[in-house]
């Protein structure tokens, strides 16, 4: 009886396990932080050049105009995909540059950082940064992080150094205190 499954139909389940494929990877080489784009996550576009050339040989001007338009559309789409990948890389590099201590030292708190700050640094619109980080992940030697998780607002510190603290770090500290508290006497 112990070898029987309470859900025997599961062996026929064809659903794949979902894995996060990071879009960017952070590596430390010779005391420098390097951000690498994982192009495996980018869509691959292929243009059938042989087919295009054969279609160009037709005498029908309408067909020639049509395939010329389609080639232009393909080139535009290819540029857009490459530009999107470049934007994600640039945003990732700026995040890593601003959060350098987090990537170099274990358990280093994140600095407060907003989408607008990254947008201003890269001379792009804030909504472009928002779309670039949405659903994108960054792989480090100590885990995979959603790019959006690096953004938070700041709270003024009462410490002597006067350095602002991110709301994310305040929440982590509060959670740590709650976890350490005696459950029978909160």
Q: Which region among 36-40, 45-49, 104-108, 147-151 has the lowest average model confidence (pLDDT)?
A: 104-108
> Residue 81 — φ and ψ, nearest 5°?
-65, -45
Q: Does the structure show a pLDDT above 90 at 131?
A: yes
Q: What percent of the chain has pLDDT over 70?
A: 85
Q: Which two tokens stand for residue 10?
A: 């599961």
Per-residue confidence at 177, pLDDT binned at 50, 70, 90?
confident
Mean pLDDT on 69-75:
93
Question: CA 148 to CA 144: how far, in whole Å?
Answer: 12
Mean pLDDT on 44-54:
86
Q: Which two tokens stand for residue 39?
A: 């192009």
Domains of the chain: which residue ranges? 15-151, 153-186
**pLDDT tens across 133-176, in order?**
999 999 998 889 999 988 876 555 555 555 555 666 667 777 77
Mean pLDDT on 3-25:
77
Q: Does the structure show a pLDDT above 70 at 50?
A: yes
Q: Are 100 and 23 in contact (CB under 8 A)?
A: no
Question: What sign has the CA pseudo-torsion 149, 152, 125, 98?
Answer: negative
Averaged pLDDT score across all residues of the chain: 83
Question: CA 87 to CA 89: how far, in whole Å?
Answer: 5
The reported pLDDT for the residue numbered 121 is: 95
Mean pLDDT on 86-101:
93
| Residue 49: HSE in the Cβ half-sphere, 13 Å Cα cutoff | 1
The reported pLDDT for the residue numbered 111 is: 85
Among 5, 24, 11, smallest CA distance to 86 is for 24
- Locate tokens 């290819």: which residue? 78
Per-residue confidence at 16, pLDDT binned at 50, 70, 90?
low
SS3 category, 166: strand
Q: Which two tokens stand for residue 99?
A: 């959060």
The reported pLDDT for the residue numbered 142 is: 87
Q: Does the structure show a pLDDT above 70 at 72?
A: yes
């Amino acid at each position: 009886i112990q070898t029987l499954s309470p859900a025997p139909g599961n062996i026929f389940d064809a659903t794949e396990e979902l894995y996060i494929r990071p879009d960017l990877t952070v590596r430390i080489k010779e005391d420098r932080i390097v951000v690498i784009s994982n192009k495996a996550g980018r869509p691959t576009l292929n243009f059938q050049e042989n087919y295009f050339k054969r279609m160009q040989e037709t005498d029908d001007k309408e067909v020639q105009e049509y395939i010329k338009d389609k080639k232009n559309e393909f080139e535009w789409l290819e540029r857009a995909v490459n530009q999107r990948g470049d934007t994600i890389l640039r945003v990732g590099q700026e995040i890593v540059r601003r959060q350098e201590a987090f990537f170099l030292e274990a358990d280093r708190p994140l600095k407060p950082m907003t989408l607008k700050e990254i947008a201003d640094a890269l001379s792009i619109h804030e909504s472009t940064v928002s779309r670039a980080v949405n659903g994108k992940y960054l792989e480090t030697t100590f885990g995979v992080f959603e790019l959006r998780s690096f953004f938070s607002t700041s709270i003024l510190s009462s410490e002597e150094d006067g350095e602002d603290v991110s709301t994310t770090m305040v929440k982590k500290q509060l959670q740590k205190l709650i976890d350490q508290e005696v459950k029978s006497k909160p």
